[in-house]
Structure 1
């Protein structure tokens, strides 16, 4: 058998790209950064970066998440801490032409977190902002100030974003992942607005309340109430221990 010769294969780099989703002002939003360097200088893109020589993919994604948002990734099987985010691998993107610099394979990750503050730019990004997913998906990077001309998101990030949004929309049907968009304690109304923002539909409040409180292990009463939504005090809940919902919360057909 011939000895392995690394020089016989073309070199390529590995990156991680992040689809970071949160709910702001009752809308599903994604984090985008304006690139400060070539290629695609000045274009909007998903946050991410190259994987370092001494880190695996999960550590690289968690590092980029922390640098871009200040959030700490956590075990998807455990409840999120106050400053944590759900982080999972989304998919691999390896079109030879996706990056003009060299052959670059990206391992995209999906991150979900409660209402997040204004992001800070870091690395090769010179600005960062939250943009409504509907704007990004239908008008791509038309997320700038008034008067800017819309241009496509950099690289293949429009496709990665679409895949991440669909993953989130489908997973909240059969898992308790929607609670990752909520604070540690939340009302049924706040959870319903998460479903409405992610799915882009209006839900009947009474039917929704009956479904989520009747699904075993989905929600656990915290024992407290709140009036932060105005009106009568509303009961507060925490995420239950169920990872899968039975029956599932099927999204309405639109």
Structure 2
């Protein structure tokens, strides 16, 4: 028997209801490896498992506001740096509690090891994990799918935009820039070709300073522009 037309919200049944969530993937590079910020869940479902920071959207806030609020509540970290909405995940049975649709965001940070993080709210712990060495994640494959999607989006951004500049300190060497690209893309790059391409695109500005390293001091640079720019191809 076909369902009757719904004329007002009061007539909605459970078949029509869903909850809206906002999750936020935070990427940073630590010791030349791409890391993601995760929280250990304090309560069921998935108590003791790790998860992407996030939670349900309140009636009086936007998706972005909800994602940033949950990030601050669960990790103590207040967003700084590049923020992008990724995708809305709506597959069935993502959450055992209810029908949940989640919109995911991505934040890119520089020098994550210097960011103060502290678990609070419904998070029992918070920590950085290498993207290729993740712990057991809550919610089955739902959060893993979000992480893999976010990583792929980040790779695309590195190939065609200057978004890498948002993950660097104010001053950096070309070797540090190359290591950042290699960490995100998960591949080795030819040193000569990489430097030639970066300099030809006018992405960086040389400084009157050097960084003392083993061997010869390395020239320091800064980003010419951290506003998002699109190129035909960087790497």
Q: Would you say same fold, with TM above 0.5?
A: yes
CA radius of gyration, larger in = 2
Distance 1:2 1:199, change over 3 A: closer
**1:188, distance to aligned residue in structure 2 (A):** 1.3
| Residue 248, structure 1, aligned to residue 233, structure 2 | yes
Q: TM-score, normalised by structure 2?
A: 0.86
Structure 1 residue 22: Cα displacement? 0.5
Aligned positions of 1:51-130 closer than 5 A: 51-73=57-79, 84-117=80-113, 119-130=117-128
C-alpha separation between the residues in 1 aligned to 2:96 and 2:10? 23
| Distance across 2 between alignment mates of 1:132 and 1:55 | 32
Deviation at 1:47, TM superposition (A): 1.0
Instruction: Flag the 1:11–1:200 CA change in 2: closer, same or farther, 3 A.
Output: same
Please give the TM-score of this superposition, normalised by the length of structure 1.
0.80
The CA distance in 1 between the partners of 2:87 and 2:194, in whole Å, is 31
Cross-structure match for 1:147: none
In the TM superposition, residue 171 of structure 1 has moved relative to its aligned partner by: 0.8
Once residues 58 and 91 of structure 2 are traced to their aligned partners in structure 1, the CA distance between those partners, rounded to angstroms, is 21
Describe the shift of the 1:164–1:197 C-alpha distance in structure 2 as closer, same or farther (beyond 3 A): same
User: Could you tell me how far apart the structure 2 residues matched to 1:6 and 1:188 are?
Assistant: 61
More displaced, 190-199 or 44-53? 44-53
For 2:193 and 2:49, the matched residues in 1 are separated by 43
Q: SS where residue 151 of structure 2 aligns?
A: helix
Q: Is the 8 A contact 1:71 1:85 kept in 2?
A: no
Farther-moved stretch of structure 1 (192-201 vs 111-120): 111-120
Residue 28 of structure 1, CA deviation: 0.5
* Count of residue pairs brought into register by the alignment: 225
Which of 191, 199, 215 lines up with 2:177 in the alignment?
191
Any unmatched runs of 5+ in structure 2? Answer: none
How far residue 231 of structure 1 moved from its aligned partner, in angstroms, is 3.4
